[in-house]
Every structure is written in structure tokens, then in C-alpha cells.
Amino acid sequence: MPKSEETRSLIVTTAMRLFTENGYDRTTMRAIATEAGVSVGNAYYYFSSKEQLIQGFYDEIARLHLDAARALLAEEPRFAERLKAVLLCWLELAEPYHRFGTQFFVNAADPESPLSPFSEESSAARDASIELMREVVEGSDVKLDPELRAQLPELLWLFQMGVVLFWVHDRSAGEKRSRMLVERSVPLLARLAALSRLRVFRPVSREIVDLIQDLARRE
Amino acid sequence: MPKSEETRSLIVTTAMRLFTENGYDRTTMRAIATEAGVSVGNAYYYFSSKEQLIQGFYDEIARLHLDAARALLAEEPRFAERLKAVLLCWLELAEPYHRFGTQFFVNAADPESPLSPFSEESSAARDASIELMREVVEGSDVKLDPELRAQLPELLWLFQMGVVLFWVHDRSAGEKRSRMLVERSVPLLARLAALSRLRVFRPVSREIVDLIQDLARRE
């Protein structure tokens, strides 16, 4: 990792720790810089505002997730196991930030916010996450309606956004309900995907996919 | 409607109008009472706080929705048409409050808030809405897996909560994307419900229902 990337990452993780400990509003850029051992000017060079730090945090979590998830995919051919591993891995990485997460992921649910996963500003992180879902599908043994296969990576990413939204509102100890959601819904999704090859189910399955894509599309 | 109910309803609708015009934080109980033509003491007799007014607003919308929806159901036997009418009717009734809605329905998404549709405080409104969905199913021509039939009213209510959540975040003109969601998802739900009778689909359908119910259950 280049030195500038290291500094950037250090500033983000320090900021997230301070936000979690003291609250977002009570944490200043000066405090973040001091705690990270960089000058205030340097901190502002990387992040022009606290909101940008949150974008930086998303990018950081997404980067850590890609690395960790790819390692898990290397030896596993079963589709449901691959998808489950990728989603549980995200929950594990995000866990330390859950308390704070309920504050800022809720803002991200506003489709006009640059923090929304559907925004222009989030397109790099979004593309990388959809690419990861493509690897989940392509490296697996799953048998699918060919039309569904092309659309599945984006649909799985939308499903991941749904899991994140559920996790944000999850107040169970250790977010165990979010893990239950993943562990129980993934085998069902895999079975539904397999059913997509049946003639009786195929038209419904294609219309569901069209509808989800139309709803997720920005104006 | 008894006089006390009328006063209650008048205070709620006045409050909602003022919240929408001037913002929730800038609207005092005194201003609401003056505008509604009742004494401040009388307003506090019905609603001990502004938050209680929001609960009152939910109840008011739910009551109006029950009346309007039942009138629509009277002459329509087709399941998909019945469900669509009930959901579109809610969107129409809630439309004037959309701008304000994005502020307070988001709070309601917190499962620990008394404003959550899953809370103890919301149980009367919730039961009435599930009962309406039971009428949608029972008065219709839909053919179903018998096990699904018993659970369908609660599932349809959960679906309605999903529509509300989508509507809260809907920034399209006149919330037309929310109407598209209802118009296109309802026929698909009806077809999926019909597929529940097929042997190949039934086990998946039952597991999906179990999972949704486990996730919606409070701890």
C-alpha cells in the first residue's frame, strides 16, 4: 500500500474510532488529526469535511471486505456457501462500527445524499461490490436461467444493501438477527435461483428481476 | 363520531398541517391549540406531548384508510385488484403528508421507538391493518396453499410496511415510483401466491414465510 493510502486509511480509522467513542457532532477534525498523529492541514488535504470522512469509511470497509471475501471464495465452489461467506464477512468487519452505524447509515438511506450507495459519488465502491458478486456467481456451481445469470450480480448487491439496511436497525445482541437473516435467506435465494430454470417459474422470476431493477434505477 | 373523537381528530389534523408548513421542531402545542380553536389545556388533555400527536396521526391515517379501503373492497372479487386498491388508497391518503413524512416515518423505523409499527403502543393500529388484509384475502377468489392462507394477512401487512418504507424515501414527482411499486409488485405477489400450491414451490414458499415471520418478531 503506498504511503498516501496508509495515511488516508489511518485518518479514516482514527475518525471512526473517535466518532464511535464521542459521537459524530462532538468530534472535530483537529481532534482526529491529533489522535492520528498528522497535522490538521494534512488531514484536510485528504478529507475536506467530516462528511467526506464517512465516504472514506465506506471505501475503507469496502476495500477490506473485497480482500477478506476473495480469500474466502478461493476454495469454495458451492454458490450458497460463497454468498453466505461474503455477506457474513461484511457483518463481521462492520460490527465494531454498529453503534455509530445506526447514525450514519440511516443518512445514507436518503437517495439524494452523496452517501447513498446509489449516488454518483459511491459508483466506484458500488462497481467493486457488484464485481465481487460476479465472482461469487461465476466461480460457483450454480445452474441458472441464462437471462438471470447476467443480472444476478447486481441483484445480489441489492440484496446486500437490504442486509445492511436490516443490520442498521438491528438491536439484537451482537446483531445476531442480521446473521440469522443471512444464514437463512441465502439457502432460500439459492433454491429460488435454481427454480428459475423451471418453465412455470421463469416468467415470474424475470418480471421480479425487471421490477427490482426499475425500482433501483435512479431517475 | 362522538364529540371527543372529533376534537381529537381536529387537533391531530391541525398539528399535521402546522408540522408540514413550519416544521416539527418549530411548532408548539400552544400554536396547535390556538389554530385548532381549543384551549392549551384541552390539547394537553388529549395529547401529553408532540410525539403523542404523531401516534395520533398514525391512528387517524389508519382509521381513514380502513373506511376508504373497505368501500373499495365491497364490489371487487379479484385478489390482486383488492390488494392493489388497498395499497394505492393508503398512498393517496398519505400523499399530503409526504414532505413531513420523510422526517417522522424515518424515526418510526427504529424498532425501539413507540412509533415503530411493531411496538406495543402501535398494536391497536397494527391489528386493525392486519384485519383489513384478512378481508382482502377472505373476500377474494384467490386459491392458495392452505398453510399460506392463514399467514397471508400478516405477510401482506409486512409488505404494506415495506411499501411505506419505500414511499418515505421516494423523491419522485408525486411519489410515482411508489405507485409503480404497488402496481407492478401486486400482480407478481398474486402469481407467487398461486404458485404456492405447486409441490415444487411449496417447501420454499413455506420457508420464506417462516423466515419473514421470525425476522419481524420482536425479541
Please check whether residue A118 touches B, CB under 8 A: no
CB atoms within 10 A of CB A123: 11
Helices marked H in chain B: 3-22, 29-36, 40-46, 50-73, 79-94, 98-108, 123-138, 146-168, 176-195, 202-216
* CATH fold group of domain B51-216: Tetracycline Repressor; domain 2 (1.10.357)
Nearest to B208 among A110, A188, A198 (CB): A188
- Cβ-Cβ contacts under 8 Å between A and B: the total is 58
Helices marked H in A47-175: 50-73, 79-94, 98-108, 123-138, 146-168
Q: Do A166 and B211 touch (CB under 8 A)?
A: no
Dig out the grid coordinates for B83 from the structure: 390488494
Q: What is the pLDDT along chain A (219 residues), one digit of tens a residue?
A: 678 889 999 999 899 889 888 888 889 999 999 999 999 999 999 999 888 888 888 888 888 999 999 999 998 999 999 999 999 999 999 898 887 766 666 666 666 677 777 778 788 888 999 999 999 999 999 988 888 898 899 999 989 988 988 888 788 888 999 999 999 999 999 988 888 888 877 888 888 888 888 887 754
Please check whether residue B109 touches A, CB under 8 A: yes
Distance from CA of B204 to the nearest CA of A (A): 7
Distance from CA of A201 to the nearest CA of B (A): 8
Please check whether residue B213 touches A, CB under 8 A: no
pLDDT at residue B107, as a whole number = 62
8 A C-beta contact, residue A73 and residue A139: yes
Distance from CA of B74 to the nearest CA of A (A): 29
pLDDT at residue A184, as a whole number = 93
Closest residue in chain B to residue A192, using alpha carbons only: B204
Picking from B169, B170, B54, the residue whose alpha carbon sits closest to that of residue B119 is B54
d(CA B87, CA B178): 10
Please check whether residue B99 touches A, CB under 8 A: no
Picking from B62, B68, B69, the residue whose alpha carbon sits closest to that of residue B125 is B62
Buried b (16+ CB within 10 A) or exposed e, A183-215: ebbbbbbbebbbbbeeeebeebbeebbebbeeb
d(CA B105, CA B217): 20
Instruction: State which amino acid sits at residue B45.
Output: Y
Q: Do B215 and A111 touch (CB under 8 A)?
A: no
8 A C-beta contact, residue A50 and residue A44: no
Domain with CATH 1.10.10.60 in chain A: 1-48
Please check whether residue A214 touches B, CB under 8 A: yes
Q: Do A195 and B201 touch (CB under 8 A)?
A: yes
8 A C-beta contact, residue B16 and residue B57: yes
Chain B residues closer than 8 Å to A186 by CB: none
Q: The domain B1-48 belongs to what CATH superfamily? A: Homeodomain-like (1.10.10.60)
Distance from CA of A188 to the nearest CA of B (A): 7
Q: Do A112 and B171 touch (CB under 8 A)?
A: yes
Q: Do A195 and B198 touch (CB under 8 A)?
A: no
d(CA B214, CA A177): 9
pLDDT at residue B195, as a whole number = 85
Dig out the grid coordinates for B31 from the structure: 400554536
- CA B151 to chain CA centroid, nearest Å: 18
Interacting residues of A208 by C-beta distance below 8 A, sequence separation 6+: B188
Domain with CATH 1.10.357.10 in chain B: 51-216
d(CA B184, CA A122): 28
Q: Do A109 and B207 touch (CB under 8 A)?
A: no
Cα within 13 Å of Cα(A172), Cβ side: 15
Please check whether residue B191 touches A, CB under 8 A: yes
pLDDT at residue A68, as a whole number = 95
pLDDT at residue A126, as a whole number = 87
Dig out the grid coordinates for B86 from the structure: 388497498
Q: What is the pLDDT along chain B (219 residues), one digit of tens a residue?
A: 678 889 999 999 899 889 888 888 889 999 999 999 999 999 999 999 888 888 888 888 888 999 999 999 998 999 999 999 999 999 999 898 887 766 666 666 666 677 777 778 778 888 999 999 999 999 999 998 888 898 899 999 989 988 988 888 788 888 999 999 999 999 999 988 888 888 877 888 888 888 888 887 754
pLDDT at residue A104, as a whole number = 63
The pTM assigned to this predicted structure is 0.79
d(CA B58, CA B122): 9
Radius of gyration of chain A (CA): 19
Q: Do A110 and B195 touch (CB under 8 A)?
A: no
